[in-house]
């Protein structure tokens, strides 16, 4: 087991009607003037925004509001939020939505703590954050795990760059998680969310670590649970217990629990390659991951055979009888593809709905190489030329 630092300070308030506690929680964490930040339509249409505002009013907390965050959230909206927050003396950001809204909120929180510098410099990795306003969330989709994570992913819509910045200081103060809020999700978003949740654990799972028995048991149990309930939700989207299992899995998959002791915190190549696809083609994050993972897995498994065998047997239920280790790995990857298909997810870029040209593939590979400083991967260390081949094999 490698050394690790596990820091998960977010208070989780889970269950039905928990959004009514938003005011009490903001007050507990020192908020007196709040920016209520949300997305395009869903939270407004369902009446959730009104309930959250009422909860703030009941505690005598002032607020201003800004909607319109899009999936793969834009830097321009972050800048708009900063101006509004400055004008209103905001001291707390309350995200009501999914990963995109939470990340937009985190970026606003970073910007407000350092008005002398451009916040994009964090995402360009030319400087580190010096501070951050407190952020809390009312989660409406189980997927990105941003409600407990140290990550923030923003797209610069002018350059087409989608970039992540990670820092423990941005981990939200609280996460309100009412699984009932997620029943209005279209099935595609539910399943893209389940895929992203699994990928957050799989990115950490495929590494060259030694004994990780407890971490592996947690990771494998989480993956099997998400697969089970993703299929149930595909047939029965209003099943509360299934929504609850998936929502809790989403937070545990990305609060670092399933990577404790893994080398370098995990592999993360599939995420990096998907972020380039998101920046160039604005695809749904989880679906983009499903489209790139099989190509990545086939490219690297021979260098990470023990883990791929373990995954095939313990997670995908592959019968080892008569198979070579390579055969077991390939059967595990094929079983994961079949699972993706069974929940309506793509297994390559064409099924995702994009057909990048050779030039676009080279541009995405170059962008990925810039984002990671040249190389990435713990399952197998990969370079720009490898990124090109993985994209080509994912067509
Ligand atoms: O804008 P509205 O109308 O709310 O529609 C949203 C959006 O279209 C809709 N939605 C959300 N809750 C709903 C709902 N529709 C009906 N009922 C509800 N209850 O779902 C769509 C997707 O929302 P989004 O917030 O984009 O989803 P997700 O949580 O998957 O977030 C994706 C973003 O997070 C980033 C991704 O790259 C992407 O930009 N990630 C953030 C991470 C982090 N900060 O830790 C880690 C992840 O790996 C990921 O990269
Ligand atoms: Zn993700």
- Tokens of residue 232, six digits: 């149930």
Q: Is residue 2 in a domain?
A: no
Q: Is residue 3 in a domain?
A: no
Q: Which residues surround ligand 2, an ion (CB under 5 A)?
A: 196
The CATH number covering residue 52 comes to 3.40.50.1970
- The alpha carbon of 153 and the centre of ligand 1 are apart by a number of angstroms equal to 11
Same domain, 340 and 211: yes
pLDDT at 263: 78
Among the candidates 125, 155, 181, a domain finishes at: 181
Contacts of 371 (CB under 8 A, 6+ apart): 163, 164, 272, 275, 276
Among the candidates 132, 164, 181, a domain finishes at: 181
Q: Is residue 1 in a domain?
A: no
Closest of 286, 1, 254, 282 to residue 151, by C-alpha: 254
Among the candidates 163, 181, 199, a domain finishes at: 181
pLDDT at 264: 75
Please work out whether the CB of residue 270 comes within 6 Å of at least one atom of ligand 1.
Answer: no
Q: Ligand 1: which of 39, 183, 278 to mutate, most ligand atoms within 8 Å of CB?
A: 39
- The alpha carbon of 349 and the centre of ligand 1 are apart by a number of angstroms equal to 20
Residue with tokens 């369902």: 46
Q: Distance (Å, rounded) from C-alpha 138 to C-alpha 147?
A: 8
pLDDT at 208: 85
Same domain, 217 and 81: no
pLDDT at 227: 98
In contact, 171 and 9? CB cutoff 8 Å: yes
pLDDT at 211: 80
pLDDT at 2: 87
The ligand that comes nearest to the alpha carbon of residue 149 is 1
Same domain, 230 and 348: yes
In contact, 130 and 124? CB cutoff 8 Å: no
Same domain, 210 and 304: yes
Please work out whether the CB of residue 140 comes within 6 Å of at least one atom of ligand 1.
Answer: yes
- Tokens of residue 171, six digits: 């981990």
Ligand 1 atom nearest 275 alpha carbon = 37
The CATH number covering residue 259 comes to 1.20.1090.10
Q: Is residue 125 in a domain?
A: yes
List, run by run, the mean pLDDT of 10-residue segments along the chain (395 residues): 93 98 98 97 97 98 98 97 98 98 98 97 96 98 98 95 96 98 98 98 90 94 98 98 98 96 89 96 97 98 96 98 97 98 98 98 97 95 98 98
Q: Distance (Å, rounded) from C-alpha 284 to C-alpha 292?
A: 12
Please work out whether the CB of residue 34 comes within 6 Å of at least one atom of ligand 1.
Answer: no
Q: Is residue 5 in a domain?
A: no
Q: Which residues pair with 136 in a beta bridge?
A: 94, 174
Ligand 1 atom nearest 155 alpha carbon = 39
Total of domains in the chain: 2
Residue 261: helix, strand or coil by DSSP? coil
Same domain, 25 and 129: yes
Same domain, 173 and 225: no
Strand order in the sheet with 92-97: 11-14, 174-177, 135-139, 92-97, 33-38, 62-66
Which residue has a Cα nearest atom 18 of ligand 1? 185
Q: Ligand 1: which of 166, 285, 287, 291 to mutate, most ligand atoms within 8 Å of CB?
A: 285
Give the residue numbers spanning the domain of 166: 11-181
Q: Is residue 31 in a domain?
A: yes
Which residue has a Cα nearest atom 45 of ligand 1? 146
Contacts of 69 (CB under 8 A, 6+ apart): 37, 38, 39, 40, 77, 97, 100, 101, 104
The ligand that comes nearest to the alpha carbon of residue 182 is 1
Please give the model's pTM, rounded to 2 decimal places.
0.97
Same domain, 201 and 81: no
Ligand 1 atom nearest 181 alpha carbon = 19
Query: Checking phi first, is residue 282 left (phi over 0); if not, alpha (psi -120 to 50) or beta?
Result: left
Same domain, 247 and 381: yes
Ligand 1 atom nearest 43 alpha carbon = 4
**Residue length, the chain?**
395
Same domain, 106 and 198: no
């Amino acid at each position: 087991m490698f050394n690790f630092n596990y820091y998960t300070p977010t208070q989780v308030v889970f269950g039905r009607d928990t959004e009514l506690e938003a005011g009490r929680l903001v007050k507990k964490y020192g908020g007196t003037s709040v920016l209520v930040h949300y997305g395009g339509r869903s939270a407004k249409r369902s009446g959730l925004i009104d309930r959250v505002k009422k909860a703030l009013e009941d505690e005598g907390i002032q607020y201003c509001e800004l909607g319109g965050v899009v999936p793969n959230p834009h830097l321009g909206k972050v800048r708009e939020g900063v101006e509004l927050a400055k004008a209103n003396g905001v001291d707390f950001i309350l995200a009501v939505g999914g990963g995109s809204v939470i990340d937009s909120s985190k970026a606003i929180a970073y910007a407000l703590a350092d008005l002398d510098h451009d916040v994009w410099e964090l995402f360009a990795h030319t400087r580190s954050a010096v501070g951050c306003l407190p952020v809390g969330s009312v989660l409406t989709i189980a997927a990105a795990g941003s409600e407990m994570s140290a990550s923030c992913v923003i797209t610069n819509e002018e350059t087409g760059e989608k970039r992540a910045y990670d820092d423990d200081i941005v981990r939200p103060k609280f996460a309100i998680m009412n699984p009932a809020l997620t029943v209005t999700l279209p099935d595609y978003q539910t399943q893209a969310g389940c895929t992203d949740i699994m990928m957050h654990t799989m990115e950490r799972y495929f590494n060259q670590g030694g004994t990780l028995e407890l971490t592996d048991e947690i990771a494998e149990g989480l993956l099997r649970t998400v697969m089970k309930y993703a299929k149930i939700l595909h047939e029965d989207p209003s099943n509360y217990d299934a929504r609850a299992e998936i929502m809790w899995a989403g937070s545990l998959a990305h609060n670092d629990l399933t990577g404790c002791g893994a080398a370098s915190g995990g592999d993360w190549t599939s995420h990096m390659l998907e972020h380039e696809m998101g920046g160039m083609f604005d695809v749904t994050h989880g679906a983009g991951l499903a489209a790139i993972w099989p190509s990545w897995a086939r490219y690297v498994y021979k260098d990470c055979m023990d883990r791929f065998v373990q995954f095939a047997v313990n997670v995908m239920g592959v019968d080892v009888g008569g198979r070579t280790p390579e055969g077991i790995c390939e059967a595990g990857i094929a079983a994961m593809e079949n699972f993706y298909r069974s929940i309506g997810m793509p297994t390559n870029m064409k099924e995702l709905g994009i057909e990048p040209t050779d030039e676009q593939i080279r541009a995405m590979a170059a962008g990925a190489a810039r984002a990671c400083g040249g190389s990435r991967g713990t399952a197998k260390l990969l370079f720009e030329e490898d990124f090109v081949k993985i994209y080509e094999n994912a067509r």
